[in-house]
Structure 1
Amino acid sequence: MTGTIQNRDKFLNQLANRLDRPRKSTSVERPKWKFQPQLEVLKGASQDELLAVLKEQCKVIHTSITVTDSKNLSSTINEVVSNYGGGPVVTWKDERFSKWGLDSLFKQEWPDQKIDLFEWDLSKGEENITKAEKANVAITISEITLAESGTVVLFSDQNKGRTVSFLPATFIALVPKSTLVPRMTQAAQKMREIHQTTGHVASCINFITGPSNSADIELNLVVGVHGPVKASYIVINDL
């Protein structure tokens, strides 16, 4: 559903008045900086090189990482989920799961193993949140992956609830190798390209770097303060 902007002119005019200047109606010319070091980090790195950087960063952010291909993805997910104690499992409603051959795992193997799987369903309202709260494992998909920081980027929409990634005890992100970029700079560029191509912006964009953690209290790192206690990235070699 497309939102409607209301009272925009009134709001912008009020801001201009408070700043004691006329309201600007023309676009601002982008400055041309002489030095742009943000473009030089990992410049020209191949996807394999970026993957190597991601693996090293995952050691720092307390996140396990596994590399597989679409043929072995189902068995890899099954193994990772089992290592975390099994279900309940909550996922997005995403056609890529079927594309990657996960229907047999989700709809046949896990029910046979008595592993409860819940797929986000817009029509079920608050039940989605309740299921996410009770889930042991969440499975989502990274749209863009920052190698330097080990960050996955999730786009929320009506079939991809935000609570899936932060209410369950364990967070699993499926990471297509093709989504790897060096750092935030390239991620921002890619998001702009997506918007220019599709004309759409996700209702919420989450940048997640491993399990939740905090070092606010006496600089002592505590993992799992306000979200998943454990995190795992499963990189899919889709190139």
Structure 2
Amino acid sequence: MGCGQVYHRESFLNNVAAKLNRSRITKVIKPAWSKIPQYEVGKNLTQDELLKVLRNQCKLIHTDIIETTSKELPQQLLKVFKEYDVNKAISWDDERYKTYGLDEQLFSKLYDYGIDFHMWNPMLKEKNIEIAEQADVGITFSDITLAESGTVVLFTDKNKGRLVSLLPKTYIAIIPKSTIVPRMTQATTHISRMVQNGIRISSCIDFVTGPSNSADIELNLIVGVHGPIKATYIVLNDR
């Protein structure tokens, strides 16, 4: 996934202003709101309290949730793999596997159990899509996790294809406990700060809330319509 880059912005905006026969607005002043309730919801909750909120929400979005440690994660993954009848898995090529000391112990266990495990590889190009389509499960880390809605926020890049969470039959999100925030407000604030600090982020940020579902037809909720039919969140105690 490419990072957002804007070209010819000034000439484009100048042309738009000229066509509208008005001067350019060069600075937008952010209004000073007298009430900002979106920042108050859950702001004093501890990580344990936010996890409780997330657990309750997962019941509503048809998502299993497990709490574990780095040491126990490989075994927990294998347990979920058995439940999902997994033979083929795909995941991001994510540095957090090494950060949490998971790379060697996790991958060796998957190999021992005969799991065909593939890491997203930008050099393989379209082959990654084919592998994702055939995978029984896709695994990603969550970059930000919204307790209120049970949503994981995924920052994709060339090693972290968005299709890992979309194409396989089932989905597993590894959630570092420290990533849990109250709601969308904190996620968008964090992303805004990243941009303001000059941190280049993907032009594609995914917000995934449990398995795919739709209630478009007569307001009847149907789970597993256009993506993973089951989802499990594994919360990793990283504090």
Q: TM-score, normalised by structure 1?
A: 0.94
Structure 1 residue ranges without an equivalent (≥5): none
Secondary structure at the residue paired with 1:145?
A: strand
Q: Which amino acid aligns with 1:15?
A: V
Q: CA RMSD in A?
A: 1.7
Whole-angstrom CA distance in 1 between matches of 2:193 and 2:153 = 15
Whole-angstrom CA distance in 1 between matches of 2:104 and 2:121 = 20
- Aligned partner of 1:121 in structure 2 is 121
Whole-angstrom CA distance in 2 between matches of 1:32 and 1:8 = 28
Task: Say if 1:138 and 1:170, in contact at 8 Å, map to a contact too.
Answer: yes
Whole-angstrom CA distance in 2 between matches of 1:232 and 1:202 = 25
Task: Say if 2:129 and 2:163, in contact at 8 Å, map to a contact too.
Answer: yes
- Aligned partner of 1:31 in structure 2 is 31
Cα 1:7–1:190 shift into 2, 3 Å: closer
Cα 1:164–1:210 shift into 2, 3 Å: same
Aligned residues: 238
Secondary structure at the residue paired with 1:62?
A: coil
1:214 has 2:211 as partner:
no
Q: Which amino acid aligns with 2:9?
A: R
Per the TM alignment, residue 110 of structure 1 is displaced from its structure 2 partner at its CA by 1.9
Task: Say if 1:74 and 1:101, in contact at 8 Å, map to a contact too.
Answer: no
Per the TM alignment, residue 133 of structure 1 is displaced from its structure 2 partner at its CA by 0.4
Matches within 5 A, 1:1-239: 5-25=6-26, 27-197=27-197, 199-239=199-239
Q: Which amino acid aligns with 1:121?
A: N
Whole-angstrom CA distance in 2 between matches of 1:2 and 1:234 = 28
Q: TM-score, normalised by structure 2?
A: 0.94
Task: Say if 2:110 and 2:117, in contact at 8 Å, map to a contact too.
Answer: yes
Cα 1:219–1:3 shift into 2, 3 Å: closer
Per the TM alignment, residue 112 of structure 1 is displaced from its structure 2 partner at its CA by 2.4
Per the TM alignment, residue 105 of structure 1 is displaced from its structure 2 partner at its CA by 4.7
Per the TM alignment, residue 4 of structure 1 is displaced from its structure 2 partner at its CA by 5.5
